[in-house]
Structure 1
Amino acid sequence: MQPPVLRVARPTNDLHKVTDFYKRGLGFEVLASFENHEGFDGVIVGRRDCAWHIEFTHQHGVTVERAPTTEHLLVLYLPERDAWRAAVERLEALGVPACAAENPYWDRQGKTFEDPDGYRIVLQNAAWG
Structure 2
Amino acid sequence: MNQAVWPTHLPITRLRVARPTDRIKEVTEFYRDVIGLTVIGGWVDDGSHAGYDGVLLGLPGWDTHLEFTQHKDGSPCPAPTRDNLLVLYVDSRADLLAVSASIQARGGVPVVPENPYWLDRAVCFEDPDGWGIVFSLKPGVA
TM bin, normalised by shorter chain, reads 0.7 to 0.9
How big is the alpha-carbon RMSD for the aligned residues of Structure 1 and Structure 2? 2.1
Of 85, 94, 107 in structure 2, the residue corresponding to residue 73 of structure 1 is: 85
CA drift of 1:30 comes to: 0.6
- Scaled by the length of structure 2, the TM-score of the pair is 0.79
Which piece of structure 1 moves more, 108-117 or 17-26? 17-26
Structure 1's consecutive aligned runs of 4 or more residues displaced over 4 angstroms after TM superposition are none
CA contact (8 A) 1:78 1:127 kept: no
In the alignment, what sits opposite 1:51?
A: 63
In the alignment, what sits opposite 1:5?
A: 14
Unmatched runs of 5 consecutive residues or more in structure 2: 1-10
Of 23, 26, 35 in structure 1, the residue corresponding to residue 32 of structure 2 is: 23
CA drift of 1:41 comes to: 0.3
Percentage identity across paired residues of the two chains: 38
Partners of 1:79 and 1:127 in 2: CA distance: 9
CA drift of 1:63 comes to: 3.9
Greater C-alpha radius of gyration: 2
After superposition, the Cα gap between the structure-2 partners of 1:53 and 1:128, relative to the gap in structure 1 and judged at 3 Å, is: farther
SS in 2 for 1:67: coil
Aligned length: 128
Question: One-letter code of the match for 1:101?
Answer: P
CA drift of 1:119 comes to: 0.1
Unmatched runs of 5 consecutive residues or more in structure 1: none
CA contact (8 A) 2:20 2:77 kept: no
- Scaled by the length of structure 1, the TM-score of the pair is 0.86
